[in-house]
Chain A
Amino acid sequence: GAGVSQSPSNKVTEKGKDVELRCDPISGHTALYWYRQSLGQGLEFLIYFQGNSAPDKSGLPSDRFSAERTGGSVSTLTIQRTQQEDSAVYLCASSPQGAGVAGGTQYFGPGTRLTVL
């Protein structure tokens, strides 16, 4: 079956513009995560969705960042009024395990490289 897909693969925008990044998780996976990765660095947790539960937004760096997950499947990460420091690769991951399973395997998409000029 298909893996996690993300679109666009690259996005160049001007400072102050809004951007939307999309993630299509693996079918049937209940958990979905968004991460941010600076060049050659580790991953910074942003937000987590699990089924119909309220998302864990504890990693969102500011109120300019928001995310939705419609119908328990596709997710959109929105960054409003983008700043240059938002430039990074945004990675999405999905996992088949539900809540209560620590360290469940996460399957990552290829990421969206965002450049804010």
Chain B
Amino acid sequence: TQLLEQSPQFLSIQEGENLTVYCNSSSVFSSLQWYRQEPGEGPVLLVTVVTGGEVKKLKRLTFQFGDARKDSSLHITAAQPGDTGLYLCAGADAGGTSYGKLTFGQGTILTVHP
């Protein structure tokens, strides 16, 4: 069974601060996705990283996939109250079953105070 350990579970910061969320596993994933979810809604895909060592930027968000494709990080620069939400990482199975079944981390609840 593949597991994704996501940390921290909770993050409460002031507007303008930087933060990093980590997603770690002992398993290799073919790709890793990051989602953001707001209350009462389903998760929305932010990014997919596929290649080991890949770095993708989405405005103030920087996503990195580990060289061994076992871990990933999300870094937010100068956080804003609008960044508040639940952030989820999800890994796609690298071995055999390649239909897009995702293993989700436990999520990080981010609160950015004005």
- The range of chain B's interface size is 20 to 34
- The range of chain A's interface size is 20 to 34
Q: Is the CB of B104 within 8 A of A110?
A: no
CA distance A99 to B92 in the complex (A): 13
Q: Is the CB of B48 within 8 A of A103?
A: yes
How far in angstroms is the closest Cβ of chain A from B25?
13
Given A40-B86, A42-B88, A45-B101, is A105 in contact with B106 using a C-beta cutoff of 8 Å?
no
A31 at the interface (CB under 8 A from B): yes
Main DSSP-derived SS at the A contact region: loop
B42 at the interface (CB under 8 A from A): yes
Main DSSP-derived SS at the B contact region: strand
Q: Is the CB of A103 within 8 A of B6?
A: no
Q: Is the CB of A48 within 8 A of B99?
A: yes
Residues of chain B from 81 to 114 with CB closer than 8 A to chain A in the complex: 86, 88, 90, 92-94, 98-107, 109
Contact with B along A76-117 (1 / 0, CB 8 A): 000000000000000101010111111111111111000000
Q: Is the CB of A4 within 8 A of B106?
A: no
Binding site for A on B (CB under 8 A): 4, 6, 30-33, 40-45, 48, 50, 86, 88, 90, 92-94, 98-107, 109
Binding site for B on A (CB under 8 A): 4, 31, 33, 35, 40-45, 48, 50, 56, 91, 93, 95, 97-111
